[in-house]
Amino acid sequence: MIRDFEYFAPKTLEEALSLLDKYRETCKVISGGQSLLKLMRAGLITPQYLIDIKGMSELDYIKSEGKNGLKIGALTTHRAIEESPMIQNGFSTLVEMERILAFIQIRNWGTIGGNLCHADPAQDPAPVLMALNAKLRASSLKGERTIAIEDFFTDYLKTALEPNELLTEIQVPAVPPHTGTAYTKFNIIENDLAIVGVAVSITLSSGTDVCQDVRIALGASAPTPMRAKGAEGVLRGKKVTDDLLTEAGEKASAEAEPLSDINASAEYRRQLVKILVKRMGKEALTRAKQA
């Protein structure tokens, strides 16, 4: 049973920020609500005030900024990202990720910003956006700030947003030349939440197999989505071989902090991280060579 609450549907960002500033910890923001309503129904969250921003069309956009990459409004739906030619052209890993995120019904209504703010470590967008080096823009009445996505998640279902701040935009920089990115998740039922998710992005030095830059991000492998920086260190500056990718997988597995739950034990998750980092490393390498 959902507890009663007072409901606001602000039409502008200004209005929404004023409400947030007024109600702070006593309120919750709802966008698509595809995760939030589950928690409210279970009685785990009982806000006094609910601020519904789903209808705030000024945060629903996908803009290409050329050399400066891509800007995605926080209220863009998963389905809009999945079907965007602009994202397919140059950021296709985001499209591949959206295709395996839950079902069409959920992608039709759920938003990318809502997904990130829910901060479930098993969700798909965060690892992919980490591999793509995304930044998040947060706004409050006091102004705006930019948060690197790896600093956004502070604990299980917790973010770095202040109670009066709203996530407004996801900024994805242009992908450098000779870069390949890949994402996969392991689960029992297709399109279910990840038991472990892994995203890898590799940039090669021009015309070589030498890894100039690399980003490895893990989902469902710790209380928050995380970068596997140790594993990145194994690859950076070296010629990428099968053996080296195996070593990177082992390193990522060691630095992960997985939990045991109904889906899998921590030990099993570590094994998955090891295998999937190697597999996605290989895939990213193949794509980088073709890029």
Partner 1 sequence: MKKELRLTVNGEAHELYVKPKSLLMDVLRDQLGLIGAKRSCDTNTCGACTVILNGMAVHSCSILALQANGGEVLTVEGLAKKTELHPLQKAFLDYGSVQCGFCTPGMLMSAKALLDKNPTPTKEQIKEAIDGNLCRCTGYNSIVRAITAVVNGEYKEEK
Please report, as ranges, the residues that interact with partner 1 according to CB under 8 A.
Answer: 2-7, 9, 30, 33-34, 37-38, 41, 50, 52, 54-55, 79, 102-106, 108-109, 190-191
Looking up tokens 């000779």, which residue turns up? 178
- CB nearer partner 1, residue 113 or residue 281: 113
Smallest separation (angstroms) from partner 1 to the CB of 7: 3
**Cβ atoms 123, 82 nearer than 8 A:** no
Half-sphere exposure of 36 (CA within 13 A, CB side): 24
- Name which of 2 and 266 has its Cβ closer to partner 1: 2
Angle between helices 242-255 and 266-290 (to 10 degrees): 140
CB of 4 to partner 1, least distance (A): 6
DSSP assignment letter at 91 = -
Backbone angles phi, psi at 45, to 5 degrees: -130, 130
**Token output for 175:** 């992908």
Which of 117/200 has CB closer to partner 1?
Answer: 117
Record the tokens describing residue 44, joined without a space. 């785990």
CB of 103 vs partner 1, minimal distance in Å: 3
Question: Min. distance of Cβ 102 from partner 1 in angstroms?
Answer: 7
Q: Between 103 and 206, whose beta carbon lies closer to partner 1?
A: 103
Residue with smaller CB distance to partner 1, 82 or 250: 82
Residue 133 in tokens: 């080096």
* Contact call for residues 79 and 95 (beta carbons, < 8 A): no
Q: How far apart are CA 68 and CA 173, in angstroms?
A: 6
Least spacing, CB of residue 71 vs partner 1, in Å? 24
The two three-digit tokens of residue 165, written as one number: 């701040």
